[in-house]
């Protein structure tokens, strides 16, 4: 196997084109088998194999800097930089290779990434550092066309173009980010690919040269070698030219020979360049090519059929979307907004039911929030469905455009809490803090999918900003915790009383708290649980009534700062300063990729950890 002989990028420079083609086939096969075994990002990585090979063949990593946007297309890069065996055996496993570029993992990973639209800014920073320090390496940003729906890319392009800093931006166009791309830019890039002017020019050149006996055919082959540069004047790249970049392309992103020539010429240029490469997401695996959005991020699956083998849980996002769609049948004000994540957030369910009231704005979280604010100010009832980690980008818009105006925008905060194998860039453990600090904001977390439905119904009646945060997957605890009492904003629920200890648990932490109560009972400790579903406002009546229990324990799948624990401690300092309390939360560090169960255990937030913490506090 050729791949087993590749220990660094320098090894591929010795290979012939035929061997590189064979290597690409091996890499694609190994990516499929590896993701089938461990789960991960499949379609995006399959589409970037030849592109990555050509980049490493032409450029000299790690001296030259390759900056991957998002990073979910970096598996081929890791295979070529000495991590093939580790990737194959430990991808996304605890202690193993990350599914994203990590500076701490390899000197060939120039920048740790996990969110979109950052690569051009980071690359420009590296290029400017090179110029200041008098170095001479190349800086290449690899950016998907989906990332160009994010405004940060244009801030960076505008800055880099006006300064004339030498750098290369590879625009990898596959018409997809996670779901199919939206917006005017997507249509513009399609126009570049399908330029009738260029195609007519090419046909004319071919026909004209073929009429010249003897020399026509060789001359056309010579022209073909330079066609990527020659065709540029006939393709309308004025948009990028206006930003100060030289636009070149498009080129077939699966043609190794052409890619290598393309990059070799670009390497000699001194101006900032946009190199337009067209690839197929999911290339080489029929299920992923046919349904690239469904095979963007996958659980382990059967290679033969594509059937995913992960645990079958209820997707909270789809539950929320279905409940919202039902409410929208009788309320024309209700609409849904997402940022390039209709499938990931489950909001495609709402979109199918109410297509005229569903808006996918692309990778543009800031725009999504302020647009929703504008809709709310005009009489609509918008719901913004975004992953917790991505919504961090829109904090200013949440604060300034929604909360100051006290507008009825509801945030459906998906993938909240610990997220498992996606790791440090995707942990949703900050949202309780950044939402709770904002005036006018209500912050809620359901304990299960049944409770999520109840909160969605409550939010439809609430006339102000609200955030409902929930994990990717949920369970239905209703058989044990059924209640017919309607929810009220700020009201908690006593699930079981405890004379010695009382847990105040948020969201998914209700279940481990209940299990800890059972374990503590066997140790002679009488413990109870309060479902503190509203982190803000808190149920002060419940807090006062609970002062008879000598030890309070707050439990939240969030960092401590700004969360329920700090809010409860502040209340106690004002109202009962001598009352005993302890706060259990995600520690003050970034949590590495591992199964969620292991992450909870590391943080002391599983039932065993809660039990041990209470027993330690009681001196047992």
Supply the angle between the helices 17-38 and 49-58 in degrees, to the nearest 10: 130
Other C-beta atoms lying within 10 Å of the C-beta of residue 437:
15
Q: How many CA atoms lie within 13 A of 114 on its CB side?
A: 20
Q: DSSP secondary structure string, 582-614?
A: EEEEE-SSPPPS--HHHHHHHTT-SHHHHHHHH
Can you say whether the dihedral through the CA atoms of 253, 254, 260, 262 is positive or negative?
A: negative
pLDDT at 479: 54
Residue ending a domain, among 446, 478, 510, is: 478
In a domain, 226, yes or no: no
**pLDDT for 254 beyond 70:** yes
Q: What is the pLDDT of residue 582?
A: 97
- Residue of 102, 281, 415, 567 marked catalytic: 281
Residue positions counted in the chain: 620
Identify the H or E element spanning 412. strand 410-414
Instruction: Give the rounded distance of the alpha carbon of 550 from its chain centre.
Output: 42
Q: What pLDDT is attached to residue 187? A: 55
Q: Which two tokens stand for residue 384?
A: 């913004």
**Burial bucket for residue 376 (CB in 10 Å: 0-12, 13-18, 19+):** buried
- Report pLDDT digits (tens) over 354-384: 999 999 999 999 999 999 999 999 999 999 9
**Alpha carbon of 496 to those of 273, 486, 509, 593, 612: distances in Å?**
64, 19, 15, 34, 20
Read off the CATH number of the domain in which 594 is found: 3.40.50.920
245 and 342 part of one domain:
no
The count of domains in the chain is 3
- Give tens-digit pLDDT for 148-166: 888 899 999 999 998 999 9
d(CA 121, CA 157): 8
The residue out of 245, 274, 298 marking a domain boundary is 298
Predicted confidence (pLDDT) per residue in 69-115, tens digit: 988 899 999 999 999 999 999 999 999 999 999 999 999 999 998 88
Residues with Cβ within 8 Å of 480's Cβ and at least 6 positions away in sequence, in order, are none
Mean pLDDT of 532-536: 98
* 153 and 8 share one domain: yes
Work out the pLDDT band at 178, boundaries 50, 70, 90: very low
Domain coverage including residue 355: 314-478
Q: Is the pLDDT of residue 240 over 90?
A: no
Beta strands per DSSP E along 202-285? 246-252, 273-278
Is residue 80 domain-shared with residue 181, that is, in the same domain?
yes
Query: Domain for residue 218, yes or no?
Result: no
pLDDT band at 185 (very low <50, low <70, confident <90, very high): low
Query: Considering the domain boundaries, does residue 203 fall inside one?
Result: no
Report yes or no on 201 lying in a domain: no
Mean pLDDT over each residue of the chain, to the nearest integer: 90
Q: Is residue 223 part of a domain?
A: no
Catalytic residue flag (residue 304): no
Residues 385 and 421 occupy one common structural domain = yes
Residue 281: active-site member: yes
- Identify whether residues 19 and 46 lie together within a single domain: yes
Query: Which residue, 453, 478, 503, sits at the end of a domain?
Result: 478
Would you say residue 565 lies in a domain?
yes
CATH of the domain at 88: 3.40.50.970
Residues 84 and 172 in one domain: yes
CA–CA separation, 244 and 159 (whole Å): 9
Q: Is position 276 within any domain?
A: yes
Tell me which of 78, 381, 393, 533 is the catalytic residue.
393
Give the pLDDT band (50/70/90) at residue 234.
Answer: very low
pLDDT digits (tens, 9 = 90+) for 133-148: 999 999 999 998 888 8
Instruction: Give yes or no: residues 123 and 39 share one domain.
Output: yes
Catalytic residue among 173, 323, 365, 366: 365
137-154 per-residue burial string, b: 16 or more CB within 10 A, e: under 16: ebbbbbbbbbbbbbbbbe
Residues 470 and 496 in one domain: no
Position 386 scores a pLDDT of 97
Q: Is 203 a catalytic residue?
A: no
Does residue 50 sit within a domain?
yes
Same domain assignment for residues 47 and 183: yes
CA pair distance 253, 49, nearest whole angstrom: 9
Residues 542, 428 share a domain? no
611 and 463 in a single domain? The answer is: no
| pLDDT (mean) for 557-577 | 97
User: 388 and 290 in one domain?
Assistant: no
């Amino acid at each position: 196997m050729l791949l087993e002989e590749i220990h660094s990028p320098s090894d591929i420079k010795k290979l012939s084109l035929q061997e590189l083609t064979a290597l690409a086939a091996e890499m694609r096969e190994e990516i499929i088998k590896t993701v089938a075994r461990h789960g991960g990002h499949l379609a995006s990585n399959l589409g970037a194999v030849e592109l990555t090979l050509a980049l490493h063949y032409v450029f000299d990593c790690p001296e030259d800097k390759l900056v991957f946007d998002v990073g979910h297309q970096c598996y081929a890069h890791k295979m070529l930089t000495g991590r093939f065996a580790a990737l194959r055996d430990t991808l996304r496993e605890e202690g193993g290779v990350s599914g994203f570029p990590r500076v701490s993992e390899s000197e060939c990973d120039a920048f740790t990434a996990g969110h979109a639209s950052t690569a051009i800014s980071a690359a420009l920073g590296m290029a400017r550092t090179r110029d200041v320090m008098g170095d001479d390496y190349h800086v290449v940003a690899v950016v998907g066309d989906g990332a160009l729906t994010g405004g940060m890319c244009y801030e960076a392009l505008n800055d880099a173009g006006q300064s004339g800093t030498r750098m290369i931006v590879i625009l990898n166009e596959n018409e997809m980010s996670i779901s199919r791309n939206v917006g005017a830019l997507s249509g513009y890039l399609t126009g570049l690919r399908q330029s009738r002017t260029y195609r007519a020019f090419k046909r004319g050149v071919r026909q004209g040269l073929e009429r010249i006996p003897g020399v026509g055919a060789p001359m056309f082959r010579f022209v073909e070698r330079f066609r990527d540069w020659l065709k540029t004047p006939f393709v309308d790249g004025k948009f990028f030219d206006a930003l100060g970049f030289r636009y070149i392309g498009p080129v077939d992103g699966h043609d190794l020979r052409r890619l290598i020539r393309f990059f070799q010429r670009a390497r000699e240029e001194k101006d900032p360049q946009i190199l337009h490469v067209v690839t197929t997401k999911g290339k080489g695996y029929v299920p992923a090519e046919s349904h690239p959005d469904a095979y963007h991020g996958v659980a382990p699956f059967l290679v033969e059929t594509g059937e995913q083998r992960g645990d079958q849980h209820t997707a909270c996002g789809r539950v929320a979307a279905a409940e919202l769609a039902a409410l929208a049948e009788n309320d024309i004000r209700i609409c849904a907004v997402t940022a390039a994540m209709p499938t990931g957030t489950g909001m495609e369910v709402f979109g199918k039911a109410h297509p005229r009231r569903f808006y996918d704005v692309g990778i543009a979280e800031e725009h999504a929030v302020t647009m929703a604010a504008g809709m709310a100010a005009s009489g609509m009832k918008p719901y913004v469905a975004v992953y917790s980690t991505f919504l961090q980008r829109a904090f200013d818009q949440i604060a300034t455009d929604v909360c100051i105006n006290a507008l009825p925008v509801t945030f459906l905060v998906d993938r909240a809490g610990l997220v498992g194998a996606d790791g440090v860039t995707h942990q949703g453990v900050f949202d309780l803090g950044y939402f709770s600090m904002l005036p006018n904001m209500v912050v809620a977390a359901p304990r299960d999918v049944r409770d999520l439905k109840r909160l969605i119904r409550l939010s439809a009646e609430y006339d102000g900003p609200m955030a409902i945060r929930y994990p990717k997957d949920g369970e239905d605890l209703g058989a044990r915790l059924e209640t017919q009492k309607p929810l009220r904003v700020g009201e908690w629920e006593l699930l079981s009383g405890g004379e010695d200890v009382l847990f105040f648990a948020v969201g998914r932490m209700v279940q481990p708290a209940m299990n800890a109560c059972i374990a503590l009972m066997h140790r002679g400790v009488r413990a109870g649980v309060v479902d503190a579903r509203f982190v803000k406002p808190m149920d002060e009546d419940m807090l006062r009534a609970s002062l008879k229990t000598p030890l309070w324990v707050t439990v939240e799948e969030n960092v401590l700062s700004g969360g329920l624990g700090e809010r409860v401690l502040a209340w106690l300092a004002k109202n009962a300063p001598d009352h005993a309390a302890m706060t259990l939360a995600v520690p003050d560090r970034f949590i590495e990729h591992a199964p969620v169960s292991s992450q909870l255990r590391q943080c002391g937030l599983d039932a065993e950890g809660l039990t041990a913490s209470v027993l330690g506090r009681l001196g047992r």
